[in-house]
Amino acid sequence: MNRRFFLAALPLALAGCQTASDLAPALTQAAVAGIAAGQDRLMFSSITVRTTGTSFEGILAANYRATLQADLQAALTEELSDRMSPLGLPLTVDVTRLAVAGIATTAFGEGDSALTGTVTVKTAAGAVHAQHTITAGAGRTEALASAVLGGGGSGEAIYRRMLTDFAEDTREALVGRRGIGAQILSGMAG
């Protein structure tokens, strides 16, 4: 008797369910509510990098004027690939400064290399959820060791390292560090 009642009542119960389009706002609200619960649930729907107004300092930095936006967006997309979701929040990076010096120049204190930008995550309502200024740069000690040992002595190597460091620092600021297993797998793939 109970089984027949259940089978008879099932179509009525299903008819009362909401459609997927009715659920979308509720799911978005749930995603935003999840954000308030902690970083471990923060997801991103898109990543936008803007270079309008960026200060390109030095001859080597000027070489990256046309590619910085796409290069940084690719680095961030790779770093945050496990955090992408259509129900996430948009992440925007406004790059304010790019300075690229050769490794020998940096090592001997003649120039510096830095990539600086403001990372902003906004809620669906447009309120700022998180905002951080990130700076990735080639340190003098690291550059000196690389110059002496002959490893990656070009401005290109420094530029690529800063892109990777910026993406990693962005991840750490917004959602925390990756687990050791993910770091090892990422290193093996790269």
Which residue type, as a one-letter code, is found at position 121?
V
As a whole-number percent, the residues of the chain with pLDDT over 70 amount to 58
Taking residues 108-124, what's their average pLDDT?
Answer: 84
pLDDT for residue 106: 55
Which secondary structure element, helix H or strand E, spans residue 77, and what is its range? Answer: helix 68-79
Contact 190, 160 (CB under 8 A): no
CA gap 186, 180 in Å, rounded: 10
* CB-based contacts of 127, cutoff 8 Å, min separation 6: none
Which of these, 113, 103, 99, lies nearest to 145 by C-alpha position? 103
Query: What range does the domain containing 141 cover?
Result: 15-189
pTM, two decimals, is 0.69
Which tokens go with 84?
Answer: 């992408």
Is residue 2 one of the residues assigned to a domain? no
Number of domains forming the structure of the chain: 1
pLDDT tens-digit map of 21-56: 444 444 445 444 444 444 568 999 999 999 999 999
- Indicate whether 162 belongs to any domain: yes
Asked whether residue 164 is domain-assigned, the answer is yes
CA distance 8 to 135: 63
CATH number of the domain within which 94 lies? 3.40.50
- Cβ contacts of residue 83 below 8 Å, gap of 6+? 42, 43, 44, 171, 175
Q: Give the residue with greater pLDDT, 67 vs 142.
A: 67
The Cα–Cα gap between 64 and 72 comes to 11
- Confidence band, pLDDT 50/70/90 cuts, at residue 107: low
68-100 pLDDT per residue, tens? 999 999 999 999 999 999 999 999 999 999 998
Residue 7 counted as domain residue: no
Q: Is 17 helix (H, G, I), strand (E, B) or coil?
A: coil
Residue 117, pLDDT score? 97
